[in-house]
Amino acid sequence: MALEAQSAAIVAQFDYTDEQVNSAVNEFRRQMTEGLEKDGTSLSQIPTYVTGVPNGTEKGLYMAVDLGGTNFRVCSIQLNGDTTFNLTFSKVAIPRKLMVAKTAQELFAFLAKQIELFLQTHHEDHFEQHVRRRMTMSSPDGYKDEHVFRLGFTFSFPVQQVGINKGTLIRWTKGFDIPDAIGKDVCALLQNEIDKLHLPVKVAALVNDTVGTLMARSYSSPGKTGTVLGAIFGTGTNGAYVEKLSNLKKPLSGEYDKTTGEMVINTEWGSFDNQLSVLPNTAWDVALDKASPNPGIQMYEKRVSGMFLGEILRLVIIDLLKDPKVSFFKDENSSSNDWKSTTNIVSDSSIYTQWGVDTAIMSVAAADNTPELSTLRGELEKQLDICSAGLDDAQAFKAIANAIGRRSARLSAVAIAAIVLQTGKLTDSANADEPIDIGVDGSLVEHYPYFRDMIYEALRTIDGIGEEGAKRIRIGIAKDGSGVGAALIALVAAGMEERLTTADYLGELRSNAKSNNLTVVPEDGETAAQD
């Protein structure tokens, strides 16, 4: 009975009430506004220079590359214009020596070589033509470069983005350490190596994978209006949404298309409320943060994402095991165990090691509704070397795991609700019958049982959304933001470049005409008359 009472007390500590959810939504919106007005805030609210989302009618052949860790992926994506696409890709491991190379050139030359090999294998016709871009006024779009691939570059390291295809590396993570690259434009580094190989490829866009999720969902989802939010709820968590340019008050350098009146914003919401003004903060949250590599930051992510949920659970389990008043994963004799055995934890069980509990076991606990919890008990032995766990042990483990998972889902709803309310879509009478589309990706929303159900449960309790508003919010899986999404951003970038460059070229022509006393700007094929 002591175990049941103690586990119930722990479960109560992870309860995040409706009132707390609403307070957090209000604070999230306040921090969103603050991040749009200035730098150095909890929510970074990073402008992406992407000023539109697709509607599923886009066509064309684009490329995408993804450097996100120890592998490098090269893709080509044929957009069919009917919300469908065809994807071809190759993947190669990054040699360890290049992850710590002396110069950035060594790594980026390797990446460019993989692009060349991909083109040779999958697009030999394009590879042989090597048609490069040139300006011309003989075509309405100002280009004769139909054979040049526009490429979206997903680069999953911290960068300071200053244009749709410009961004300087702030620091390396994930085992990379090439000091020579710090402060350099990663798109230019890749383009330089592509050009050395004379490849018909232009790095058109620097891509954040969350922005890619937004784009991929907007292309493939049905409806008249585009997707408003792309979100990751997996190992980490982040969101990117469509914001009105008029709300973006902080200085914005670099060129971008102002005609849409919108820009996609990368929230970097993992750092929401680092001050802990509205986020829950149990003793186990404190312990996890203190022992983490980055104490004091990413406080929202540490309560939501899959990377941390298993560790929170592990810390709770360890405290229960240390409690002399509670019999948890231990039996006086076999008579107290429903399997007529005694529970043992192997001495080198990963339960005793930091990060030793994978969040996947929480999914098992949530899914196992059998009377004896036999599936969960089997996984406790398989994953954590907890042998012959009793039913009461498994029930306590399940209850605590579920409470941690439910809190994560309700906190996830906070971010979703804040952005839905920020967009004003719920009160927009012009699209009153249209769903508010949200694209999500990641292991929690894909594989954790009932996670989306728990998000909706929380959404229904939020002021300004309620039962009716929650019905209009459509949360759908968006796959391959770093591939399809990156290609779609390259498409947007190509359109931007076309408009901006053509306008610049016409301006230069007019300026030259004026300085040379030309009476008109010549049309293609005409000769201007001089006075």
The residues carrying an active-site annotation are 156, 171, 209
Q: How far apart are CA 431 and CA 423, in angstroms?
A: 13
Using CA atoms, how far residue 451 sits from 146, 367, 526, in Å, is: 45, 11, 65
How would DSSP label each residue in 7-72? HHHHHHHT---HHHHHHHHHHHHHHHHHHHH-SSSSS--EE-S------S--EEEEEEEEESSSEE
* Tokens coding 476: 């759908």
DSSP code, position 1 = -
List of E strands, 138-282 = 149-155, 159-163, 166-169, 201-207, 229-233, 237-244, 262-266
130-135-141 Cα angle (round to 5): 100
* Tokens coding 294: 């980055």
Q: How far apart are CA 213 and CA 266, in angstroms?
A: 11
Using CA atoms, how far residue 96 sits from 139, 176, 284, 446, 517, in Å, is: 47, 9, 36, 32, 62
Sequence-distant (≥ 6) Cβ neighbours of residue 302 within 8 angstroms: 285, 288, 289, 292, 308
